[in-house]
Amino acid sequence: MTAAAAVAILRRVFGFDAFRGPQAEIIEHLNSGGDALVLMPTGGGKSLCYQVPALLRSGTAVVVSPLIALMHDQVAALTQLGVRAAFLNSTLGADEARAVEQRFVRGDLDLLYVAPERLLSERCLDLVARADLALFAIDEAHCVSQWGHDFRPEYLGLSVLHQRWPEVPRVALTATADPTTRAEILDRLALTRARVFVSSFDRPNIRYTIVDKIEPRAQLLAFIRAARTGASGIVYCLTRRKVEETAAWLAQQRVQALPYHAGMTASARASHQARFQCEDGIVIVATIAFGMGIDKPDVRYVAHLDLPKSIEGYYQETGRAGRDGQPADAWMSYGLADVVQQRRLIEMSPASEDFKRVSAAKLDALLGLCESAACRRVRLLAYFGEDSAPCGNCDTCLEPPETFDATEAAQKALSAIYRTGQRFGAAHLIAVLRGKSGDRVAKWGHDGLSVFGVGADLEENAWRSVFRQLIAGGLARVDHQAHGAIRLTEASRCVLRGEQRVQMRRLAAGRVRPVKRKEVQSPATDMSPADTDLLDRLKRWRVQEARTQSVPAYVILHDRALAEIARLRPATLAALTVVNGIGTRKLERYGAALLAIVAGTRPEAS
């Protein structure tokens, strides 16, 4: 009975005919009163796993959400579907908050979204105690992990939900958690008896590309212009200053780029985020202050101009591309300076030695992904404990990198480190190897060393690649207590003695070349000119409707639904019901307007 009722809600409310992957099993487990930890990739349908049980069970589902913007988007989307949803956060006035609380206690809400710090206040806990509860959903559950990439200390108190309401089922959900983080989530949230559901972490529609950082801005612009002009995208930078400068430079190149970082005013951040959510073709240049919970489905690319801190962070950030399942790109430029900078941030951090050790190990795993000559996706999924085969949709599969026996170059570089006293950074070492006798080299007498000039056959960028790969491979390390000096590791001895050969990736050209993309079905594939024209008219109507209601365009209808309408050209309301994403409420609200557009007449405002 539960399965049939769940499918009926899926069709009537959400407009879909069938669940995907483990969704049905998760819903049945929660509906029967069980606890769960759900690991599902971004865009995999995590929200349905608690939204459907919220509609099946008696009472209100309390959803713990870390971001105000995410709450607003999800409540707006649910309201469009006719679901009784609301949020409690600081954007509400006293009267508005009181009205929501009254609806909650009366049982007039299906879902209530609340931030963890607000939920854990005694006043809010007392409020929850007065309501009939369907379940607790803890979104972005990786925030509870102190070893994770987005730790939020307020999440640590959420075990109180189990202590106060042990009979209410709880579900924790995240898109990024390695086995260690999963165990920590279960422990800290007191989910010891929870069933764990792990979906594939693979996002086959995303093409992963990592390039050697040579001229990063020019490389980024070439990437954007290579068939992505006019698409929505996110560009991540490490610092606020770089965000501002990059956004301004892209705008000069006629890219609709807007900055976003924590140093901006709240109104400016909100304005830029609203434009990104509601308009097509906006590119947000941001620090990692932007992004968690961003629900925009048609982000066509995520680019990194600086190295993230970990594979979890990289996966979470790149996962904001292609949530609609259509082709998308994850692009990153990566250089030796990134490695040095991230090492410095770890070593200079006031965190405990254990935390620094874990952070360094996570960075090493990310460097391994960057330097891999094998499939990026295989390496990425292996980090999360998932076996896979070469994907055919990443840079190393589509254009296998050239590798070479770098033993001699490695020995020269390691010898230069040793003979200069392990006291200097890459720039000085490269100058010595290439025989550049500047003031600094002469000052230390390094122009008289046996290694002086032995690397004149390699360009500076090639040597930077060698040093980067030595560090990534554990043959050398950066010591920030000695102002960024590169030192030898114990593992380097075997290479210096000639007992171990070294293979390296050859430095690739920095330009962006056309690459044959693995075919992924797109909503606009094989559309006739007439269908494309109809799709354009449907999108224009959607933009107007979104502006009227002050909601993101995708909250009205997703691109896939509009493309399906353009192909099928339904003539009746009954025919519209077969379109994915059109449930009862949207049919009632938009059906007549959509049919009028298909028929070629001007629709009346809804």
Angle (deg, nearest 10), helices 407-419 and 460-472: 90
pLDDT > 80? residue 384: yes
Q: Do domains 2-198 and 206-398 have the same CATH topology?
A: yes
State pLDDT tens for residues 222-272.
Answer: 999 986 778 899 999 999 999 999 999 999 999 999 999 989 998 998 889
- Return d(Cα 591, Cα 572) in angstroms, integer: 9
Q: Is residue 570 within 8 Å of 579, Cβ to Cβ?
A: yes
State pLDDT tens for residues 518-541.
Answer: 444 444 556 788 888 999 899 889
pLDDT > 70? residue 601: no
> Which of 56-65, 204-213, 437-446 is least confident?
437-446
Predicted pLDDT at 59: 96
The CATH label, of 3.40.50.300, 3.30.1360.30, 3.40.1260.10, 1.10.150.650, for the domain at 2-198 is 3.40.50.300
Domain boundaries, the chain: 2-198, 206-398, 403-505, 529-598
State pLDDT tens for residues 365-381.
Answer: 888 888 888 899 998 99
- Return d(Cα 57, Cα 27) in angstroms, integer: 11
Average pLDDT of the chain, as a whole number: 88
**Chain position carrying tokens 């929850």:** 128
For the record, the structure tokens of 500 come out as 């171990």
Q: What is the mean pLDDT of residues 556-565?
A: 89
Instruction: Indicate the SS3 state at residue 136.
Output: strand
| Percent of the chain at pLDDT exceeding 70 | 93
Going by pLDDT thresholds of 50, 70 and 90, the confidence category of residue 514 is very low
Going by pLDDT thresholds of 50, 70 and 90, the confidence category of residue 164 is very high
Cite the beta strand spans of 250-393 per DSSP E. 257-260, 283-286, 299-304, 328-334
> Which of 76-85, 355-364, 404-413, 572-581 is least confident?
355-364
Predicted pLDDT at 589: 92
Give the HSE-up count for residue 603: Cα atoms under 13 Å, Cβ half-sphere.
Answer: 20
Give the angle subtended at the CA of 518 by the CAs of 531 and 560, to the nearest 5°.
35
Beta strand 503-505 with 403-405 is antiparallel
Predicted pLDDT at 292: 60
Give the HSE-up count for residue 275: Cα atoms under 13 Å, Cβ half-sphere.
Answer: 17
State pLDDT tens for residues 274-296.
Answer: 888 888 889 999 998 676 656 78
State pLDDT tens for residues 449-500.
Answer: 999 999 999 998 889 889 988 887 889 887 766 667 889 999 999 999 999 9
Predicted pLDDT at 521: 43
The number of angstroms, rounded, from the C-alpha of 513 to the middle of its chain's C-alpha atoms is 25
**Nearest of 191, 201, 204, 194 to residue 40 by alpha carbon:** 201
**Chain position carrying tokens 């009181």:** 98
Say which residues have a Cβ less than 8 Å from residue 464's Cβ, sequence separation at least 6: 335, 336, 426, 430
Going by pLDDT thresholds of 50, 70 and 90, the confidence category of residue 123 is very high
For the record, the structure tokens of 541 come out as 């109507």
pLDDT > 90? residue 31: yes
State pLDDT tens for residues 317-366.
Answer: 998 999 888 899 999 998 888 888 888 888 888 878 878 877 887 888 88
The CATH label, of 2.60.120.10, 1.10.274.30, 3.40.50.920, 1.10.150.80, for the domain at 529-598 is 1.10.150.80
0.85 surpassed by pTM: no
Predicted pLDDT at 3: 86
State pLDDT tens for residues 59-114.
Answer: 999 999 988 878 888 899 999 999 999 999 888 899 999 999 999 999 999 999 99
The domain over range 403-505 is classified in CATH as 2.40.50.40: no
Architecture (CATH level 2) of domain 206-398: 3-Layer(aba) Sandwich (3.40)
